Every structure is written in C-alpha cells, then in structure tokens.
Amino acid sequence: LVNLGQGENVGVKGYRVAQIRAVFLLSNDACERLFPTGVDPFGPLAYVEWFSKFPSTPHRDHKMFKVSRSFTSAGYRYASVIPIANIRRTVKLFPIFGPVAPREWTSGDVLEVCNNFYVDPFLDEHTYFTLR
C-alpha cells in the first residue's frame, strides 16, 4: 500500500496498491550524476508495478475493494521508482475468478497470471482500520 502524498491514517483516499519488484539504493556516483548538487536522492528506492485506484466504495457484500493491474495503451504494466518511505504496509490480495479457480494458477504465479484482485481488509486490525 503506497501513500501517494495525500494518504491519511484511516481510509484508502491517497493510497494505491503496488507490487514491489525490486528495492535498491543508488550509489554515490549515480546520485552525483543523476541529481543536482544539494538534492536528496530519497534514500532507498523501490521499483513497483501499479494497480488501479481504489473505487469509491468497497463491494457491498464482502466489503473488499477491487483493484486491477494498470496497463499502458501498449499493454505494458505501469511501473515507477518510488522512495520506500512512501510504502505504508503490505496488503493481502485475493485473485478474482469465476465459479472455479483455474487449475494452472499457483500461489507462486497468481500475481503474474491474474489481473483482478480483492484487497483483504480483514488481514489484521491495522489493515481493517486503514482500509475503511
């Protein structure tokens, strides 16, 4: 769960789900080449792939928000490099499927093969209050 800059302690406004693909720190040499003198390069960074914005309300029956992978018009996943300080917490995603889950999906690859998920607000008390 990433704070986009307007996130508060309670509620999904100002937050977005992203999958962290890599965490890294720029070398001093890279910082000197990439940033003007006096600009803080933000410390550790994360390469993330984005999911859709939260809908205005959760599903009426189970109170979970639906999110989907975000793609460019060319079919690539939207991705960014962000400061890890913007990452608030982990969330649990449930894949959305029809009456039967595809047999070929595994826990190791479901984030790669499924594009639509529900965000679990019942993971723990902190998640519940954050995702209200």
- Residue pLDDT tens, the chain, 132 long: 999 988 777 778 889 999 999 999 988 888 888 877 766 667 899 999 999 999 999 999 999 999 999 999 999 999 999 999 999 999 999 999 989 999 999 999 999 999 999 999 998 888 888 887
Tokens at 94, concatenated = 């449930």
Q: Contact at 8 Å (CB) between 41 and 24?
A: no
Q: What is the pTM of this model?
A: 0.87
SS3 state at 127: helix
Task: State the Cα–Cα distance between residues 129 and 132, nearest whole angstrom.
Answer: 5
Q: Contact at 8 Å (CB) between 58 and 64?
A: yes
Residues 6+ apart with CB under 8 A from 80: 18, 47, 48, 50
Using alpha carbons, select from 75, 18, 25, 84 the residue that is nearest to residue 51.
18
Residues 62/107/81/72 CA torsion (nearest 10 deg): -70
pLDDT of residue 34: 82
